[in-house]
Amino acid sequence: MPPPTPHRAALLVIDMQHAVQPLMHRADHTVGTIAGLSSRARAANVPVITVQQRGCGEVLPALAPRSGEPVVTKACADAFLNTGLDETLTRLGVTEVLVTGFATENCVETTARQALSHGYDLVLVADGHTTSVRSQPTDFAPADRAIAHHNEIYRHIDFPDRAVRVLPAGEIDFTPPERDAAEG
């Protein structure tokens, strides 16, 4: 039996760009949360991968990728579709993705589900994703409810052979889980 694959996380920062910032609900709060998490990830040698939507401008300055960090450009909601994201994650030995960014029910949701389908464990950062500001009247759920709704879905989602967690940024520990003594 081959040895277990070592745990390796990566932080995905999705579509936190200039063109969509005016549309973001609680933009400053979300940017601050992701910036703090990115800083902690880098300090723990956890890869931070910037995912940007084609045509939406530069990444917000507080979340700009550092020199040498991977940047993936996408053309639709799915950050895996026709991009090098899966290859980048594989090359880095990633087994778990932490998903943050904009917009909760579109690019964040689609990429999170695709991460599971591509074989990655998933952490949805509960306070690290946001949706669009809602104009009235609309059939969309109010922004805070939409975010809470998606967090709740992921607390109860069942995906074969995958770990799925929803954690606020403050509870994320980038220390790899301890291996069972029987695993060696």
Could you give the residue numbers annotated as active site? 107
DSSP state of 17: B
Asked if 17 and 148 count as a contact pair (C-beta separation under 8 A), the reply is: no
Asked if 62 and 31 count as a contact pair (C-beta separation under 8 A), the reply is: yes
Token pair of 171 as six digits = 């509870």
Asked if 166 and 154 count as a contact pair (C-beta separation under 8 A), the reply is: yes
CA 88 to chain centre: 15
